[in-house]
């Protein structure tokens, strides 16, 4: 079957591991052909991008906080999805730590209503831990996976929750920090209050949980290369475990906690020592992580500058461009883009983050342009960043979401709406890994 494309996107493109000159044929919402620009009929409709542009797949961020319902003052689906688009991200998976938590069908339904009305990127939800896991089996189409926070790790019900998620062939996402090893003292450095041993202990506990329950387990925002080694060992032993990390863990270090930016840079898990940062950077470079996420965790600047600031900062507007800086300055292979697109998409079983026939036509056109990160210009409600002042080399020029223009030269096409992605059934973990 070869559908006639409605139009082509022409230019240099990152396609399955290489940069080539391509004509990407799009019909409806899908990529239907890939050829060289000389091969398309002269009369074909086209968008052509010349020197200084690069087409990449829409990025896939499987760990963000859009904050609805309950915390809309920090972010909402409109501002959060605009931040995503501006950062070249076309799919987000939203976390359940809402107010009240999204650990039941009613709140998940409400989340869907809200996202449907406002989101300009595609999306999915995780269900939060519930001490009555069976409550969640009534609406299993509303979530793509289950999420466990540190405080849930010691619940007597945690195994039951993991088994429920496993029985639904979904992914169990874990924030691994052992609550027993955290010191709730605002006066000590954040990196000392939440030490490396807390992550290591929770990783161990999570691997045991994965082993006992058979749940396909994904440990998120790993901050230490030591954790990666533990998880790799379990992987090699045949356990279905995967992990991600975030740009701040391999680009920043805990020296920020002794500067005026300490509240801005406060995040869980914390930034680590320079030595740890370097080892993690190597692990990412060697593609030893399964995914990169932002953990886009917006709060208001006022909250971050106040007494007892909350942990987390926004990341969607800078993550892809930070990776591109590393790539263009020769420190990372271009294939790290897969870690923020195709690989996480595979983990969730969605046909995104790829420029191949049959993939959703989510495409990001990048333009070479040097700019400085100025958080007061963010579209996110969270107008601060530990990357403030960083000089980046690329900007998002245009974004296509399933074939439709959603952003071009600074303008959002707000009539476009994102689509809700439940797990495409039935996909086995093994075949996804092989794709």
Query: Nearest Cα to 146, choosing from 77, 218, 87, 209?
Result: 218
Among 228, 267, 337, 406, binds ligand NCD (CB under 6 A): 267
Angle CA 320–324–328, to nearest 5? 175
Q: Under rule CB under 5 A, how many of the chain's residues touch Zn ion? A: 2
Length of the chain: 435
Using the minimum distance from each CB to ligand NCD, give the nearer residue, 47 or 296.
Answer: 296
Does position 268 interact with ligand NCD (CB under 6 A)? The reply is: yes
CB-CB contact of 223 with 276 (8 Å): yes
Using CB under 5 A, which of the segments 9-17, 180-188, 292-300, 340-348 binds Zn ion? Answer: 292-300
Among 74, 118, 147, 175, binds Zn ion (CB under 5 A): 175
Among 244, 295, 338, 360, binds ligand NCD (CB under 6 A): 295
CB-CB contact of 168 with 134 (8 Å): no
Collapse the DSSP code of 302 into the 3-class scheme (helix H, G, I; strand E, B; otherwise coil) and give the result: helix
311 burial type by CB count under 10 A (0-12 exposed, 13-18 middle, 19+ buried): middle
Rounded-to-integer distance, Cα 312 and Cα 154, Å: 24
> x-or-dash pattern for ligand NCD, window 86-125, by CB under 6 A?
-----------x----------------------------
Distances (CA, A) of 210 to 130, 142, 175, 237: 18, 23, 14, 12
Which of Zn ion, ligand NCD, none has residue 83 at its interface (CB below 5 to 8 Å by kind)? Answer: none
Catalytic residue selected from 94, 152, 244, 295: 295
Q: Under rule CB under 6 A, how many of the chain's residues touch ligand NCD? A: 10
Does position 147 interact with ligand NCD (CB under 6 A)? The reply is: no
Catalytic residue status for 295: yes
Q: Going by DSSP bridges, is the β-strand pair 363-372/53-57 parallel, antiparallel, or unpaired?
A: antiparallel
50 burial type by CB count under 10 A (0-12 exposed, 13-18 middle, 19+ buried): exposed
Least distance to Zn ion from the beta carbon of 299, Å? Answer: 12
Q: What's 355's DSSP letter?
A: -
Using the minimum distance from each CB to ligand NCD, give the nearer residue, 60 or 271.
Answer: 271
Among 47, 65, 261, 272, binds ligand NCD (CB under 6 A): 65
| Residue ranges in contact with ligand NCD by CB under 6 A | 65, 97, 175, 267-268, 295, 297, 310-312
| Residue ranges in contact with Zn ion by CB under 5 A | 175, 295
Q: Which residues form the catalytic set?
A: 295
């Amino acid at each position: 079957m070869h559908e006639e494309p409605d139009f082509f996107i022409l230019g240099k493109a990152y396609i399955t591991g290489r940069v080539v000159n391509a004509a990407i044929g799009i019909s409806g919402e899908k990529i239907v052909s890939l050829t060289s620009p000389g091969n398309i009929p002269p009369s074909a409709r086209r968008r052509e991008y010349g020197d200084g542009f690069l087409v990449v797949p829409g990025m896939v961020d499987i760990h963000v906080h859009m904050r609805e319902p309950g915390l809309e003052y920090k972010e909402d689906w409109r501002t959060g999805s605009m931040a995503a688009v501006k950062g070249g991200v076309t799919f987000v998976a939203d976390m359940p730590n809402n107010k009240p938590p999204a650990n039941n069908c009613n709140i998940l339904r409400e989340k869907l209503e809200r996202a449907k009305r406002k989101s300009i990127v595609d999306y999915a939800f995780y269900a939060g831990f519930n001490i009555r896991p069976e409550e969640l089996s009534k609406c299993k189409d509303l979530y793509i996976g289950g999420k466990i926070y540190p405080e849930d790790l010691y619940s007597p019900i945690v195994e039951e929750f993991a088994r429920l998620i496993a029985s639904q062939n979904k992914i169990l996402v874990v924030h691994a920090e052992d609550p027993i090893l955290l010191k709730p003292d605002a006066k000590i450095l954040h990196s000392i209050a939440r030490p490396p041993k807390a992550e290591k202990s929770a990783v161990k506990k999570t691997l045991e949980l994965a082993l006992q329950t058979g749940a396909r387990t994904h440990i998120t925002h790993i901050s230490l290369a030591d954790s990666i080694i533990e998880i790799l060992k379990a992987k090699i032993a045949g356990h279905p475990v995967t992990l991600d990390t975030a740009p701040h863990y391999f680009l920043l270090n805990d020296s920020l906690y002794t500067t005026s930016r300490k509240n801005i840079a406060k995040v869980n898990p914390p930034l680590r020592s320079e030595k740890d940062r370097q080892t993690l950077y190597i692990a990412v470079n060697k593609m030893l992580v399964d995914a990169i996420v932002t953990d886009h965790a917006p709060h208001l600047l006022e909250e971050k500058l106040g007494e007892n600031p909350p942990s987390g900062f926004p990341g969607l507007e800078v993550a892809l461009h930070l990776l591109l800086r590393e790539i263009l300055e020769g420190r990372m292979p271009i294939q790290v883009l897969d870690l923020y697109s195709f690989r996480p998409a595979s983990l969730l079983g969605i046909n995104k983050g790829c420029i191949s026939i049959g993939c959703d036509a989510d495409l990001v056109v990048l333009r070479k342009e040097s700019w400085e990160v100025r958080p007061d210009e963010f579209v996110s409600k969270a107008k601060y960043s530990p990357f403030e002042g960083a000089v980046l080399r690329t900007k998002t020029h245009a974004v296509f979401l399933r074939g439709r223009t959603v952003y071009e030269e600074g303008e959002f096409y707000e009539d476009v709406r994102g689509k809700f992605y439940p797990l495409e059934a039935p996909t086995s973990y093994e075949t996804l890994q092989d794709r």
